Structure 1
Amino acid sequence: MNSMLSQVRAIADTMVTSPGRAKARTAIIDIGSNSVRLVVYDGPRRIPFILFNEKVMAGLGASLGRTGQIEAEAMERGLRAVGRFAHLCRDMDVQDVRCVATAAVRDAANGQDFIVRAKAMGLDVELLSGVQEAVAAAYGVLSGIPTANGIVGDLGGGSLELARIRDGAVHETISLPLGVLRLPQIRAKGPSALERQVKKMLAKADPGIEPGLPFYMVGGSWRSLARFDMQLTQFPLPVVHQYAMDASRAEQLTRIVSHVGRARLKDIPAMTGSRIPTLPDAAALLSVIVRQLQSSELIVSAYGLREGLLFGDLPPDIRAHDPLLVAAEAEGEAQGRFAGHGDMIDRWIGPLFLDDGEAWRRIRRAACLLADVGWRANPDFRAERGVEIALHSNWVGITVAERAMLAQALYSNFGGGTSVPAGIESLASAAALKRASLWGLAIRLGQRLSGGVEGPLLASRLEMVGDTLELRLRGVDTDLFGEAVERRQRHLAQAMGVKYRMAW
């Protein structure tokens, strides 16, 4: 028995969470070619929460292709946004404000004027090079998808950055003047002009990037394109992060977008009106890039430059933390009743699930960390609340199938039994959902036995002895047995197809 517990503890210790609170509230003002945005962050350093998010479609790069300058109206619109954001940061008591500018300010003849005027507002604008922009976007993808291995493509208003990522690191990078605000002028030269231009630019850059890799899509226009595809395919989970498409879909979307009216596009949830005009050009560029790189598949990342800047500033030990488990632990601690209880539950039920692989173990642990987040909900709707948290919260580092498993585990934990919640049966295999329901029932038993405190879990063991699910307590603690505990143990045993007993 001791060896089994040691094995469970050893596994749990490898899944680092340790939220690591931010030193102070932080913010990034991102002066892009298409938009100027403020994002204010708080919470765990590894995966900070967004407190405030606002953008202004300033269009600083709209005239670069024609005049080489930022137009006066766009300049004023961008500076008004920067002034408002600086004021908000002061009133929000943001201690660390990082203000960065990318392609439009970098390439415009009057870009320095923008920087000088922003400095008069109290902001030091950091002008990112193309390489720095590519590295930040790549780090953003690694922050949200730690196992990502392929090519990151960050499409902005003024430029396209490409970066090779593997083994948690950024390797070769390229910055190309192919932002969505520049593409119309290129495409106006003929149906093959964009393909010729991209091929020429890639050959000149000679990045040495091997073909046949996944392509990670970053940037508002490409995310909007993915949302359009989700609408077309009636994808059941409207979460764009880690949404995957076959590489051939890029060419299909190029044809479809060119024939769809603006009214249809406006009806798509989360599709902003400012992105609609860029979709045909964004789709055309994606199709060309996929052909040139011979991409194997397309994967969307909701994380990009801003998240990459934060991630790049972290020490290696905090970068190594699992973003899903950090976020789940922080949410569980904020919403639950008993500090540290999720981690104890995970260790307690672990002996039942020693054959779970690494991927399943981390989803099981996330479920344990979130095991008490529904207690404020109406008891009749707690199971549904668990599903909502799993499917719709802003988790990263989790696939669609894993979201479904997390939803099933919380649903069963909050009283949904072994039935499958409507809408998730197509997101994961029946075997995966069955396993997740057992996690949920085991968590539910642990919650009832312990009352949310440590003592009963330390005084008891839950394990399989032959074909029997045994709940064992020390003799002095047998008064913790009760009808409610016995009922939940019985439900778990029935779901597992085994016998059960209580022992001491």
Structure 2
Amino acid sequence: MNSMLSQVRAIAETMATSPEHANARTAIIDIGSNSVRLVVYDGPRRIPFTLFNEKVMAGLGASLGKTGRIEPEAMERGLRAVGRFAHLCREMEVQDVRCVATAAVRDAANGEEFILRARAMGLKVELLSGAQEAIAAAHGVLSGIPGANGVVGDLGGGSLELARVRDGAVHDTISLPLGVLRLPQIRAKGPAVLERQVKKMLEKAGWVVEPGVPFYLVGGSWRSLARFDMQLTHFPLPVVHQYAMPASRAEQLTRIVSHVGRARLKDIPAITGSRVPTLPDAAALLSVVVRQLKSSELIVSAYGLREGLLFEDLPPEIRAHDPLLVAAEAEGEAQGRFVGHGDMIERWIASLFEDDEPSWRRIRRAACLLADVGWRANPDFRAERGVEIALHSNWVGITAPERAMLAQALHSNFGGGATVPPAIEGLASAAALKRATLWGLAIRLGQRLSGGVEGPLLASKLEMVGDTLELRLRNVDADLFGEAVERRQRHLAQAMGVKYRLAW
């Protein structure tokens, strides 16, 4: 079958990834101003999943604003991390290791020393310019949010990168010396200094303000700030990717964070202790930036520079693929019983839902691709398994309401009927969840009729004829229609509010 995933794999064979497990591994060592991190990825690069992830808060840029240098203790801590990461990559047989350094090493007077000592460990360090850093972060956002249209802001320890993304491409970029490790010095000069400096820097860079477009948040400090907001608002889905806030929320969070003690912030499980000291400055900068840019809303991206570097290496035809659908197909293939079954189910139920808007169609397709992932689970918990996969798997290119629709479809498919699980109440509209319920019941009917194989689906047709849900079989296939099939057809018809019948 010429599926999307098959195309990804075919091209991947000519790249650093390959069908062999060890050869499929790629890694990025990201030497930032605040942290040094290793991420090892496995599988096709369009849908990279994380095999290993470790960071060390080296603080290479901690004294940059005062001394212009990486302090000796930070230098040694960073190099120890790099040495460990290089060793781990060898042990994991990672064939493609990319080591990049950003603002701290770029700006420090002794940054070259760090690069030379890392080279002695067998690593070639790429020193990214501010523009390259901004482009990579923007590509990361486009990888995880393909329709992104606005300004990407990547807040690191040593710098803030801004990039305009539109129509799947990166346009204007700038890099500003406004990392969280530099902000305390600026803010100590007075409450209005940061605002004046940001305004002056944007004007000097010739940045064109476009009022009313979203601002996409990248970077650990801003993600932690978003997680704090999720706690404050009791947001029911603990997934930060594509979490959205009104732009005015930035100023509110600045005030709230300034009045909340560090001890209380450290008690929030989703916020790492190392990020707590940066939150007041990160919030203050966000408030100033979105005010200067006149942003419409804030959208968080879990993807950033590292994912962007992987995305940049992909050919255009693979970049264009929908990351949610590629990932759903991979998951369905890994956990399902029959390869290609999701595609067949989708074609079989499609005529019932021709009026679905495009954004709903892709969620319906994802549900079909995942239609068989629950078969190994205990039958009493399959519906819960479907909800768990939809809500908590590491999907990208999907909003919280869309996750809820996917969860509802899988819940209904795996035996949950028309009930709405408590975990998704309030995440999507009643109309959206109703539609997803119908998808799930239709998929469930197709699963039972076919037994998961191709023949019965090819030999039958499901469609609306007037006000009747009709299942049409050939005479020679009449014995496929049993009590279980009739019961599932009846349940779907009842949920749709129509009659049903079997036809020949």
TM-score when normalising by structure 2: 0.96
Q: Which runs of 4+ in 1 moved over 4 A?
A: 13-19
Q: Which residue in the other structure is 1:47 paired with?
A: 47
Amino acid of the structure 2 residue aligned with 1:208 = V
State the one-letter code of the partner of 1:491: H
Cα distance in structure 2, aligned partners of 1:436 and 1:44 = 29
Question: Is 1:244 matched up with 2:220?
Answer: no
Unaligned runs of at least 5 residues, structure 1: 1-12
Q: CA deviation at 1:193?
A: 1.1
Q: Is 1:365 the equivalent of 2:378?
A: no
CA distance in 2, matches of 1:17, 1:320: 14
Tell me the residue number matched to 2:21: none
Q: How does 1:30-429 map to 2 (within 5 A)?
A: 30-429=30-429
Shift of 1:40: 0.5
Q: In the TM superposition, what is the alpha-carbon distance from 1:264 to its structure 2 partner?
A: 1.5
What is the alpha-carbon distance in structure 2 between the residues aligned to residue 151 and residue 290 of structure 1? 10
User: Does the 8 Å contact 1:19/1:327 carry over to 2?
Assistant: no
Q: Deviations over 1:118-142 (max 9, x none)?
A: 1111100000000000000000000
Q: Secondary structure at the match of 1:494?
A: helix
AA partner of residue 260 (structure 2): V
Q: CA deviation at 1:45?
A: 2.1
What is the Cα deviation at residue 196 of structure 1? 1.1
What are the Cα deviations for residues 430-470 of structure 1, in whole angstroms up to 9, with x where unaligned?
01000000000000011111111111111111111111111
Counterpart amino acid of residue 291 in structure 2: R
| SS of aligned partner of 1:387 | helix
Q: Which residue identity does 1:103 align to in structure 2? A: A
| Partners of 2:58 and 2:269 in 1: CA distance | 23
Q: Secondary structure at the match of 2:273?
A: coil
Contact 2:5 2:330 in 1 (8 A): no
What is the SS of the residue equivalent to 2:377? coil
C-alpha separation between the residues in 1 aligned to 2:418 and 2:300? 32
Deviation at 1:16, TM superposition (A): 8.2
Deviation for aligned residue 1:367: 0.3
**Is the contact between residue 149 and residue 214 of structure 2 (CA under 8 Å) also seen in structure 1?**
yes
CA shift for structure 1 position 80: 0.6
User: Does the CA-based 8 Å contact 1:240-1:302 persist in structure 2?
Assistant: yes
SS at match of 1:274: helix
CA gap 1:85/1:147 in 2 versus in 1, 3 angstroms: same
Aligned AA (1:80): R
Q: State the AA in 2 paired with 1:199.
A: K
Q: SS in structure 1 opposite 2:59?
A: coil
Tell me the amino acid that sits aligned with residue 465 of structure 2: V
Q: Is the 8 A contact 2:405 2:436 kept in 1?
A: yes
The amino acid of 2:33's aligned partner reads S
Distance 2:236 2:322 in 1: 26
CA drift at 1:14: 11
Most deviating of 410-419 and 290-299: 290-299
Deviations 1:230-264 (A, max 9, x none): 11111111111111111111111000000101121
Kindly provide the amino acid, as one letter, of the partner of residue 176 in structure 1: L
The runs of 5 or more residues in structure 2 that have no matched partner are 19-23
Bigger shift: residues 477-486 or 281-290 = 477-486
- Which amino acid in structure 1 is aligned with residue 491 of structure 2? H
In the TM superposition, residue 473 of structure 1 has moved relative to its aligned partner by 1.1
Q: Which amino acid aligns with 2:501?
A: R
CA contact 2:250–2:286 (8 Å) conserved in 1 = yes
Question: For the structure 1 residues 248 and 17, does the alpha-carbon distance in structure 2 shift closer, same or farther, using more than 3 Å as the test?
Answer: farther
**TM-aligned CA distance change 1:14 to 1:335, over 3 Å:** closer
Query: 2: distance between equivalents of 1:314 and 1:430?
Result: 39
8 Å Cα contact 1:44-1:326 kept in structure 2: no
Distance in 1 of aligned mates of 2:307 and 2:297: 23
Could you tell me whether the CA contact under 8 Å between 1:139 and 1:311 is conserved in 2?
yes
Check whether the contact 1:154–1:217 (CA below 8 A) recurs between aligned residues: yes
Cα shift at 1:44: 2.3
3-state SS, counterpart of residue 33 of structure 1? coil
| Residue 425 of structure 1: how far off its partner (Å) | 1.8
Deviation at 1:423, TM superposition (A): 2.6
Determine helix, strand or coil for the equivalent of 2:180: coil
**Which residue number in structure 2 is paired with residue 3 of structure 1?**
none
How much does 1:212 deviate?
2.5
* 8 A Cα contact 1:34 1:57, kept in partner: yes
The 8 Å contact of residues 5 and 329 in structure 2, kept in 1 or not, is answered as: no
SS of residue in 2 equivalent to 1:282: helix
TM superposition shift of 1:211: 2.6
Secondary structure (helix, strand or coil) at the match of 1:463 reads strand
Deviations 1:340-374 (A, max 9, x none): 10111001110111111111100000000011111
Distance 1:246 1:271, change over 3 A: same
Structure 1 residue 209: Cα displacement:
3.8
**Range that drifts further, 417-426 or 21-30:** 21-30
Aligned residues: 493
- In 2: Cα distance, 1:44 partner to 1:464 partner: 40
CA distance in 1, matches of 2:212, 2:477: 60
Q: Shift of the alpha carbon at 1:208?
A: 2.2
Taking the aligned partners of 1:14 and 1:124, their CA distance within structure 2 comes to: 37
Task: Identify if the C-alpha distance between structure 1 residues 272 and 17 changes in structure 2 by more than 3 Å, giving closer, same or farther.
Answer: farther
CA contact (8 A) 1:15 1:362 kept: no
Same amino acid, percent of matched pairs: 87
Q: CA RMSD in A?
A: 1.4
Q: Distance in 1 between matches of 2:257 and 2:110?
A: 35
SS at match of 1:217: strand
Aligned mates of 2:196, 2:303 — CA distance in 1: 30
Check the 8 A contact 2:209/2:294 in 1, yes or no: no
Per-residue deviation, 1:474: 1.3
What SS does the aligned partner of 2:423 have?
coil
Which secondary structure does the structure 2 equivalent of 1:423 belong to? helix
> Per the alignment, in what secondary structure is the counterpart of residue 265 of structure 1?
helix
Q: CA deviation at 1:15?
A: 8.1
Deviation at 1:19, TM superposition (A): 4.2
CA distance in 1, matches of 2:443, 2:482: 17
Between 1:18-27 and 1:66-75, the stretch displaced more is 18-27
- 1:21-80, Cα deviation, whole Å (9 max, x unpaired): 533210000000000000011112212111110000000000100110001111111111
> Match for residue 10 of structure 1?
none
Q: Is the 8 A contact 1:438 1:495 kept in 2?
A: yes
Residues 143 and 311 of structure 1 are in contact (CA less than 8 Å); yes or no, is this contact kept in structure 2?
yes
